[in-house]
Structure 1
Amino acid sequence: MIRLKEFSNVEVCLHSLDSLGVTCFFGCEDQEFLLTKDSNIRYVRMQHEQAAVHAADGFARATGKPGVILLTTASGITNSITGIATAYSDSVPLVIITGQIQNNLLHSNQEAFHELNTSGLTMAITKHTLKISTIEGIRDALKNALTIATNGRPGPVLLELTSHPDMHAPQNQSLVRSQTKRQSHEHSVKMAKCLIESAKKPVIFIGGGVIASGASDFLREVVQHTRIPVVSSFLGIGSMEAKNPLYLGMLGMHGTFAANKAVHHCDLLISIGVRFSDRVTGRISGFSPASKKIHVDIDPAEINKIIHVDLPIVGMQKSFYFH
């Protein structure tokens, strides 16, 4: 059990979040349990853990700041899996705080936490897991979690309070990728420039990565300058003005005729911040069959994952537009 000094775990968590600039967090605990604390943070109580994670997901999408969730029961972890997986797939920054938050109130639940392999359950759908066993380490762990959640490709980070100090967090490949510094890809960008200049029917395909990287304004400048038509995934909607005549709409089974026709017949497909979901591609062999393909993404794991591309560019979308 986490030892207490002057404050309880929940007080330290609240003061730490407040000092780190967090203005709102979500959970399922009684309001009286949290709102009586001396903190300026707004607490939004939901009736189910899955709803709490989805609410934090929506907060992060709307504000661009990490959504923070407090889960204090073992069943809360299992209930939250769908929401965490959604945030991971859509690159939404979340920080999920789990474990023994307040000693006396939740003491009876500690054994359930020990029996449940929380990090094992969530490893495939989180960027990183942080484990802490002392109350003094809560603030630094929260700071690291908020940073990891937003750096590189955004995603969910699990912060687990545990009574086992010898347990170390598994560091998966996503964390290594998120800590990779931006590198120059001048040669790849020059090759992309040559492909674009020689193409007769190029199309730009944009996804949620354009919005997540704050590159929408740069995209519009590029489109205005090059006059290349644009299609988007569902998550890419909003990057281009709907009234722009060069925006052909959403691609895929629920997309527009113009967008699907343009991608099918283009000779160069420039994909930026997309993950080629099955609702976009349909049958893989029939997806833009005659085109050369450029794929720009911050996560190298997305390159050639579903669609084979001729020119991969790993990095922030902004760095590509600057050239």
Structure 2
Amino acid sequence: MVQILIRQDTTIVEDLSATLVRDLAQRLQDDALAICLNVDIGRRPDLVIITPHAVHVIEIKDKIGNIHIDPDGRWWLDGEEIVNLYREQPETPVQQAENTANHVRTRLFKLFKSRKMTFNGRVYAYVLVPNPSPDTRSTLAAFRVSTWLKQHHRHVWITLGLDELVERIKIHDTHTAESTALTYSPAHLQVLTRDWKLQPTQRINALQVASKPQVANKRLTPRFALAVAALILTFLGFGIWTSGIYLPSGCASVDRLNIRSTPGGGVVATVSKNTCFRIDGVSPDRTWARIARGRYTGAWVATNLLTGLQPQKLPVVNQR
């Protein structure tokens, strides 16, 4: 079973769906050694997948709308450019994937050399669009076979959906096995894990990533059925008892929403779009909301970046 590894001291995966990670792990099964999340080695790929003979760097562009690519290779989503800024230099998704893969390749070469281990493996670059619209699918399918792409970024693979990504990963791993003697061992993975500060996990954003297959048509025993019923009734009773306790909630409306230690203070974490919070009050100017529950209890988020929240109706709970 493929391992899920995440950078230590983090639980939030930015711009990454836990469901996508779970589905990817289930599709790869024993064809991969590890899926690495929240990797930060100077550049921050969305995913790094380690297979027995290769490394695969994936940049995910899960965009709602129609993607258009102009003659210069720039990507546009409904009139807005899709661009990554690295050291104040703009990168298209293809450039981002290629540059990040090159960075990972250099890092691995130096890492294994410092351990007196040879790294002659291949590092592949991908742009994954997991849920393309029909127009986007047509546009990207034509772009990935275009002469322009082959001339400028011929080592970047644009994949449309998880099935295409997994198929291409398997093809690349098989091809690399035939052309190089390198096979990743537990020793290789241990060196990489230590250097990248990764640790095993089974949960991403509190969602179970990999689990054992369910047994079909398994009947509940009477004793177990009674226990389940009692548990349901207990939760229903608790829900009724707490129905008078109300905490307003708001959800992040932008990617990479910063959570701060105090209103306008230092950043303690960054979360993805659609992450929701329970709020118990606001700052005097009502521009900052305090988180009431969960991992970041007592921390602050900007109210104008939360949807579904009415700051004017909340009590002031902090003096700057």
Give the shorter-chain TM-score range. under 0.3
Instruction: From the two aligned structures, give the one with the greater strand fraction.
Output: 2
- Where relative contact order (Cα < 8 A, 6+ residues apart) is larger, the structure is 2
Instruction: From the two aligned structures, give the one with the greater helix fraction.
Output: 1
